[in-house]
């Protein structure tokens, strides 16, 4: 087994252990009502942070490049409730075109 596969297996096992720890630690108790809204907002907040980090950062530097235009096209498409496929293709096309012409 290579080191790469060992890492994949360890990360998978860790993920399963973390997901199983919640129900195990709660022990059948109900989640407090004040926490439920926080849980509902946690995934979108983490996803938003990931998008911003990937769109505006290169290492430890702030970078404004073609990714910003692609993100703006995706945001406009999502706001207009365009189909997801169209949003992704539009954002990718704008980003690719700007990168091509910026050479």
Whole-structure pTM value: 0.62
The residue behind tokens 């509902």 is 40
For residues 56 and 62, the answer to whether their CB atoms sit within 8 Å is yes
Length of the chain: 103
Alpha-carbon gap, residue 6 to 22, rounded angstroms: 25
Would you write out the chain's pLDDT as a tens digit for each of its 103 residues? 798 999 999 999 999 999 888 878 888 788 888 888 998 999 999 999 999 898 898 888 888 899 999 999 999 999 999 999 999 999 999 999 999 998 8
């Amino acid at each position: 087994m290579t080191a790469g596969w060992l890492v994949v297996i360890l990360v998978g096992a860790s993920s399963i252990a973390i997901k199983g720890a919640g129900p195990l630690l709660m022990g059948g108790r109900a989640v407090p009502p004040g926490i439920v809204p926080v849980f509902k907002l946690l995934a979108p907040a983490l996803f938003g942070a990931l998008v911003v980090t990937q769109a505006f950062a290169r290492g430890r530097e702030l970078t404004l490049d073609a990714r910003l235009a692609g993100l703006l096209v995706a945001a406009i498409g999502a706001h207009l409730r365009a189909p997801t496929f169209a949003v992704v293709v539009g954002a990718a096309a704008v980003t690719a075109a700007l990168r091509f012409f910026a050479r």
